[in-house]
Amino acid sequence: MKLLVTGGAGYVGSVCAAHLVDAGHDVTVLDDLSTGHKDAVPDGAHLVHADLAEAAEEVLAEGFDGVLHFAAKSLVGESVARPELYWAGNVVTTFRLLEAMRKHGTPRLVFSSTAATYGEPERVPIPEDAPTRPTNPYGASKLAIDLAMTSYAAAHGLAAVSLRYFNVAGAHGRFGERHTVETHLIPIVLQVASGTREAVQVYGDDWPTPDGTCVRDYIHVDDLADAHLLALQHAEPGKHAIYNLGSGTGFSVRQVIEACREVTGHPIPMTAAPRRAGDPAVLIASSEAARTELGWQPHRTDLTTIVRDAWEFTRSRPA
């Protein structure tokens, strides 16, 4: 298929673009390189360096079979302090993309949504029909896009799939996580192991969990990419499908730090810090729907594998 990958120079976008190229698709990456990296665009993909809202219409006029939409603002704390960036950068930009797709008859959209659309869960594992009550503007902006996609599928026949990611981690060879502002646990812990950070702060050790630290569902970015290729194949005109993507297993912050110690051989000092606003105690996905309807099967659910791949990527980068 001829595919447009928005945000294909970012972490998840670049890994998915690499999988798509390997699967033989004709891939164009559209990225403004505001947080992405030019050298993260895989060989074989064509890069359009442009603002998505401005360029979507012109680029899609070429005729595409589908769009995989990763370009987004994705920092929870920033979204609380500056919500306008999230309503403009996520919601308005995606509306422009949807309109450009409608105008040019682009039939399929696979969207990078998030577990943050659910907010504090009533029960775990979280199924797709759980209430959506996001606790920050980031999650709210992604939910608004999901709702827009439902209406475009119903009214305009769009074949739409939203994939709600839990905690994405790991790397795919030279494609990995390298944010200028790093907020995610595994890359932060690995920064300690590689000597660029003194210690990891543990945000709360009195949570109602077995060891008192927050529990999350870590999914390997390669398993996540597999789900995107399956979503493309299964997208049906006039239908908006929503799937959670996680491994279905929870690991605590302490367990993650312990796995990083084992993989890196570094003692990784940790310090106690207050709870981070908006953090739920436990987030675990039910990915049953992705397994049964898409035939998705995550293969790299072991925490050591996830950390080892992230560590190899970290070590391969210049300090």
Binding site residues, ligand UDP, CB under 6 A: 167, 183-185, 188, 200-203, 214, 216, 253, 276, 279
Task: Kindly tell me which of 59 and 202 has the beta carbon lying closer to ligand UDP.
Answer: 202
Q: Which of 11, 86, 138, 152 is catalytic?
A: 138
Supply the minimum distance, in Å, between the C-beta of residue 214 and ligand UDP.
Answer: 3
Supply the minimum distance, in Å, between the C-beta of residue 215 and ligand UDP.
Answer: 8
Residue 162's nearest CA partner among 248, 80, 231 is 231
Task: Kindly tell me which of 66 and 250 has the beta carbon lying closer to ligand UDP.
Answer: 250
Residue closest to ligand UDP (Cβ): 214
Task: Kindly tell me which of 42 and 134 has the beta carbon lying closer to ligand UDP.
Answer: 134
Task: Kindly tell me which of 98 and 221 has the beta carbon lying closer to ligand UDP.
Answer: 221
Supply the minimum distance, in Å, between the C-beta of residue 79 and ligand UDP.
Answer: 12
Supply the minimum distance, in Å, between the C-beta of residue 200 and ligand UDP.
Answer: 6
Supply the minimum distance, in Å, between the C-beta of residue 184 and ligand UDP.
Answer: 4
3-state secondary structure the chain: CEEEEECCCCHHHHHHHHHHHHCCCEEEEEECCCCCCHHHCCCCCEEEECCHHHHHHHHHCCCCCEEEECCCCCCHHHHHHCHHHHHHHHHHHHHHHHHHHHHHCCCEEEEEEEHHHCCCCCCCCECCCCCCCCCCHHHHHHHHHHHHHHHHHHHHCCEEEEEEECEEECCECCECCCCCCCCCHHHHHHHHHCCCCCCEEEECCCCCCCCCCCEECEEEHHHHHHHHHHHHHHCCCCCEEEEEECCCCCEEHHHHHHHHHHHHCCCCCEEEECCCCCCCCEECECCHHHHHHHCCCCCCCCHHHHHHHHHHHHHHCCC
Task: Kindly tell me which of 66 and 187 has the beta carbon lying closer to ligand UDP.
Answer: 187
Q: Does residue 138 have an active-site annotation?
A: yes
Q: Which residues are catalytic?
A: 138
